[in-house]
Amino acid sequence: MNLERVLIAESDTHLAELMVIRLSNAGYQVTVTGRGSEVLTKTLDFEAGIIIVDQFLPEKDGFEVCYDLRKNPRTRQAGLLLLTNEVLDLKDLAKLGVRVDDQLVKPFNPREVLFKVHQIMATLRALEMNSVVGFSGWEALRKEIQDRLLTGGDFDLLFIDIKNFRIYNKHYGFSAGDEVIKLLARIIREVTDRLATPDVFLTHIHGDDFAIMLPSGEGSRTGEKIVELFNGEIPQHYMEEDRERGGLVVENRRGVVESAGLMSLAVAVIETRERKFTHPLQIKEVGEEILQYIKNRPGLHLLKDRRKE
């Protein structure tokens, strides 16, 4: 995804040409399609970071196009600008799974489309992907949670932490630790890519802390699959002697020799249909509490929040 590449999906060739001129003169690389059925393929081929979609495209309307773009793992985080004939309530669209970043009502001046594209690009840059794993950070997730809470839609949220990661990182080094982070990110992406839904949001909060927003009802099943795959692959990240021993034997700060088992996952599952929240930090706090509980219980990997209030 390249934020300086813009795909325009507009069947009015004159309007499309005006937008191409304005955006090209501002330094954007631009390509155009006039058919809704071509948008996803062209977005993937062009690696567009921002897509301008007319609501009334032939063959496939703009709403369906936006839904498909959000559903595809390779395009779900692109910026979407919807061109409409009247002001629409974007929150109502979001309830239907059609999540766009902004809208522009026709007729408009070409300067307005440039301004909207600049805004979307600036927002996406501010929420820039983590350079190690390619996921968004906490601020992006916080905004997404807040938007979902406002629209009233239920969702599941997984908070994920790696048990014994700090000890492994200290013993094997930061480069080895980065490889473990990449392993977990790959597993998360592989598992969530199998979900045919636009309602997936992947986040690398910091260090070995991840969070995943999922459709309601998918949290436990997805978390269990991630745990299963991680536990199956993580032994290969240890030297043979540590693997056979079942972990590391290290000296703590007090000079006492301690044993630390192989790394494993702690996964907190929060379901908003079971418990109503009013703020993203409230959800994050609950997730962190559950993770701390799991990390202090050997053999426990996944726990669902059971509280109702």
Cis status, amide bond into 198, omega within 30 of 0: no
Nearest to 127 by CA among 143, 145, 108, 105: 143
Q: What is the pLDDT along the chain (309 residues), one digit of tens a residue?
A: 788 999 999 999 999 999 999 999 999 999 999 999 999 999 999 999 999 999 999 999 999 999 999 989 889 889 999 999 999 988 888 877 788 999 999 999 989 999 999 999 988 887 665 557 878 888 888 988 988 888 777 899 999 999 999 989 988 999 999 999 999 999 999 999 898 788 899 999 999 999 999 999 999 999 999 999 999 999 999 999 999 989 888 776 676 667 788 999 999 999 998 888 999 999 999 999 999 999 989 889 999 998 766
Residue with tokens 């609950």: 286
Helix%, strand%, coil% for the chain, nearest 5: 45, 25, 30
Q: What is the DSSP string of 87-101?
A: ---HHHHHHTT---S
Contact 129, 121 (CB under 8 A): no
Q: What phi and psi, each to the nearest 5 degrees, are found at residue 272? A: -75, -15
Give the per-residue pLDDT at 131.
57
Per-residue tokens: 66: 């936006």
Spans of all domains in the chain: 2-126, 138-304
Contact 188, 180 (CB under 8 A): no
Which residues make Cβ contacts (< 8 Å) with residue 35, sequence separation at least 6?
A: 11, 57, 58, 59, 60
Architecture of the CATH domain 138-304: 2-Layer Sandwich (3.30)
Give the per-residue pLDDT at 135.
85
From CA 200, how far away is CA 197, in angstroms rounded?
Answer: 7
From CA 6, how far away is CA 116, in angstroms rounded?
Answer: 12
From CA 119, how far away is CA 132, in angstroms rounded?
Answer: 26
- Order the strands of the 264-271 sheet from edge to edge: 201-206, 209-215, 155-163, 264-271, 302-304
| Cα torsion 33, 39, 45, 50: sign | positive
CATH class of the domain comprising 2-126? alpha beta
Give the per-residue pLDDT at 79.
94
Per-residue tokens: 206: 């910091």
Give the per-residue pLDDT at 252.
66
Classify residue 174 as exposed, middle or buried by CB count within 10 Å of its CB (0-12, 13-18, 19+): exposed
Give the per-residue pLDDT at 124.
82
Which residues make Cβ contacts (< 8 Å) with residue 187, sequence separation at least 6?
A: 226, 229, 230, 233
Give the per-residue pLDDT at 128.
61
Report helix, strand or coil for 17: helix
Give the per-residue pLDDT at 40.
96
At CA 78, angle to CA 75 and CA 82, rounded to 5?
110
